[in-house]
Structure 1
Amino acid sequence: MTAGRPGHAAGPEGPDAHGAYGSDGAFVAAVDGLADPLNDPLPGGHTSPWFRSENVPAAEPPAPHAVRSAAPSSYEGGYATHQGLHQAPPPGPQQPQGAPDEWYDPAGYRRDWYGPQEPSTGMAAVDAAGPVAPVAPVAPAEGPAAAPVPDTSGRPDLHAEPRTEVMARIPAEPEPEPQSEPDPTPSPHPAPAPGGRAERRRAAKGRGRRRPAPAAGQSAPAAAPMSRVEARRAARAAKDSPAVIASRAVGEVFITLGVLMLLFVTYQLWWTNIRADQIAGKETSRIQDAWANGDRKPGVFAPGEGFAIMHIPKLDVVAPIAEGIDKEKVLDRGMIGHYGEGKLKTAMPSDKQGNFSVAGHRNTHGEPFRYINKLKPGDPIVVETRDAYYTYEMASILPQTSPSNISVIEPIPVGSGFTKPGRYLTLTTCTPEFTSTYRLIVWGKMVDERPRSEGKPDALVG
């Protein structure tokens, strides 16, 4: 049963019949305490920790059509006793004088927390203390905060305070700040992890395992100094082992050899041709100047001395012919050598009968005979001397033979298809290309002899 509220009289006496609100200002003070949103209990709740439903005496059912008594109930008596808002009403039949408050049950509270135990002397003393002495009434509050507020809870608060004091202790809610665009630069200090203390500790341990990289403009933390033993170990580990040094030396040797081989190949395939063409060109000019001045007379030529010029129009070859087949003095200088010494001595172009045999490089050093394998029967080959032009026509070819086969340069060369003496031409060179394993032979037969006074032959004019 709850006490009646102002404006809702339960009987003919009205609200003044209830002794709880009879004193001046008590109603206002009670309403101020009940209006506090922090202390006002929910309907049907109990703010006292000592409340036990089993201690509440059962109320006698009211008689039918009976008018509610104006005497306050045990609930209202207990509220008045604890709050001191007014003097407790005289004991009635529902609550005898001197009985403890129905909410106060320390033994039950202790039983709920610590289990069933025998009552101690301290708890016995508390039980024997009796009811709490009444407290002086609270003075009515002044000002606009003391305005009466309707009671909506249905139950008085045991710890009611004036509304003004409670609201003064509540911190004001800060106004929301205007939201700004998020900063794209990550913060060097991560935000604390949400949750309880255990979650924050786990987050702190996780951050300790992997340290974030220093932000731009900040230097990395200095490493801890090493001890002398650790420094020695680090120095020994930094030194290269003998195997590493040996492998590095071998690698450098191979790299050096590779570079040298590359340079040598470049020299052989490119530079020797350039150098030989320069020497052969100078020798051709010297021979032509000597013929023009009349300094050279027919006769025996010294080894390495140029005496004629060979023209192969199909291959666009113009190269001087020197006496001998010496590699360094004749062939490597881009010239064509004449077999004219010892057992390899052959005829000259001016001889009325014989085989004029010459040799030349197929690769490197000017390579004048590189493409003689492309000559076909009937292609002209012209030998120019001081007195005349001797024109030969290509007759046959021997793709491969041994270097020791000297029968190919005999007066009647073997394998050429010639059967009787005549004025023949033999060209010899190495094969396959870039090797000297075998010899490639090309034969020709003289078809025209023209003095220089008659001009160049048709093969050179066309």
Structure 2
Amino acid sequence: MALVRGLWVTAELAVTLGVVVLLLVVHQLWWTNQQAKADAERQVQALEQEWGGEGEGEGEATDEGAGAGGPEVSESPEAEEESAAPPRNSSARRTAPRWDQAYAVLRIPRIGVVAPVAQGIAKRGVLDKGYVGHYPRTAQPGQAGNFAVAGHRNTHGEPFRYINRLRRGDKVVIETREAVFTYLVDRALPQTSARDGGVIAAVPRSAVRPEYGYSEPGYYLTLTTCTPEYTSKYRLVVWGKLASMRPR
């Protein structure tokens, strides 16, 4: 009888523990996404209202490509580089925004991304809120150099979940109070070290895999996120070049 009771109690504890673990997983994978997405959407609306408009992106972001998993950008880094002339008049924001402040909106129509951009890449103050974080000491939108940003791939809004689907020529639009900047995706690095600072340098080139990157100054955009899914072991990188800018 004592043995049966012991087995029964053990089974009950196992079931209870399983339910607790399941609830934690649901919270992490579903609830944090819903909460962060809602917060990010409200922030985008607040910025647009502050700027006095309804949003001036390159058209509405679509849901094309939603539902797939796993960023593995297939654009060949050896593809012939198309050198675009720098803009004649770049009215990019010259003063760095306050830390954790959302000050721009990033739109990627091909994968349905609309997310606020905030200064810094802290998890609690930026990334876990569903925002895209701007790497300190990299260029601001439209400036010469490299406008480099990071975003979660899984949980907390996961704005960069599907950047593996981006292909050469896809648009990435950055809206600020002053102007709207359109970058075109150019190259990608499917996997590199989390400490590969070369990918966000002013002239981005991987320090780990130097065959990936650029060799001349320009007006670059860098998107970074974790890979493989549900890990933070490596980084996936997508690069773009500034194609146009227009005042708001």
Paired residues of 2:142 and 2:242 also in contact (CA < 8 A): no
* 1:444 aligns to 2:240 (yes or no): yes
In our comparison, the structure showing a higher alpha carbon Rg is: 1
Which stretch has the larger CA shift, 405-414 or 243-252? 243-252
Tell me which residue corresponds to 2:102: 306
Q: Give the TM-score taking structure 1 as reference length.
A: 0.43
Tell me which residue corresponds to 1:387: 178
Tell me which residue corresponds to 2:138: 346
* Residues 316-327 of structure 1 mapped to structure 2, 5 A cutoff: 316-327=112-123
Residue 357 of structure 1, aligned match among 142, 145, 148: 148
**Partner Cα separation in structure 2 for residue 325 and residue 354 of structure 1:** 19
Quote how far apart the aligned CAs of 1:290 are. Answer: 1.8
Residue 205 of structure 2, aligned match among 404, 409, 414: 414
Runs of 4 or more consecutive aligned structure 1 residues displaced over 4 Å after TM superposition = none
* 1:375 aligns to 2:166 (yes or no): yes
Provide, for residues 340-393 of structure 1, a one-character-per-residue CA deviation record: whole Å limited to 9, x for no partner: 1xxxx2111142x11000000111111111110111111111100001111111
Tell me which residue corresponds to 1:333: 129
Choose between structure 1 and 2: higher strand proportion.
Answer: 2
Choose between structure 1 and 2: higher helix proportion.
Answer: 1
Stretches of structure 1 that go unaligned for 5 or more consecutive residues are 1-239, 453-462
Quote how far apart the aligned CAs of 1:269 are. Answer: 1.9
**Partner Cα separation in structure 2 for residue 402 and residue 299 of structure 1:** 31
State the one-letter code of the partner of 2:10: V
* 1:285 aligns to 2:45 (yes or no): yes
Quote how far apart the aligned CAs of 1:286 are. Answer: 1.4
**Partner Cα separation in structure 2 for residue 442 and residue 350 of structure 1:** 17
3-state SS in 1 of match to 2:128? helix
**Partner Cα separation in structure 2 for residue 393 and residue 424 of structure 1:** 9
Quote how far apart the aligned CAs of 1:446 are. Answer: 0.5
**Partner Cα separation in structure 1 for residue 97 and residue 16 of structure 2:** 46
Residue 12 of structure 2, aligned match among 252, 263, 266: 252
**Partner Cα separation in structure 1 for residue 100 and residue 213 of structure 2:** 32
Q: Give the TM-score taking structure 2 as reference length.
A: 0.78
* Residues 35-114 of structure 1 mapped to structure 2, 5 A cutoff: none
3-state SS in 2 of match to 1:302? coil
3-state SS in 2 of match to 1:292? coil
After superposition, the CA RMSD in angstroms is: 1.6
3-state SS in 2 of match to 1:400? strand
Quote how far apart the aligned CAs of 1:246 are. Answer: 2.8
Give me the identity figure in percent.
50
**Partner Cα separation in structure 1 for residue 196 and residue 213 of structure 2:** 16
Provide, for residues 13-55 of structure 1, a one-character-per-residue CA deviation record: whole Å limited to 9, x for no partner: xxxxxxxxxxxxxxxxxxxxxxxxxxxxxxxxxxxxxxxxxxx
State the one-letter code of the partner of 1:434: Y
**Partner Cα separation in structure 1 for residue 242 and residue 95 of structure 2:** 21
Residue 274 of structure 1, aligned match among 34, 37, 47: 34
**Length, aligned pairs only:** 204
State the one-letter code of the partner of 1:271: W
Tell me which residue corresponds to 2:81: none
Quote how far apart the aligned CAs of 1:442 are. Answer: 0.3
3-state SS in 2 of match to 1:255? helix
**Partner Cα separation in structure 2 for residue 287 and residue 298 of structure 1:** 18
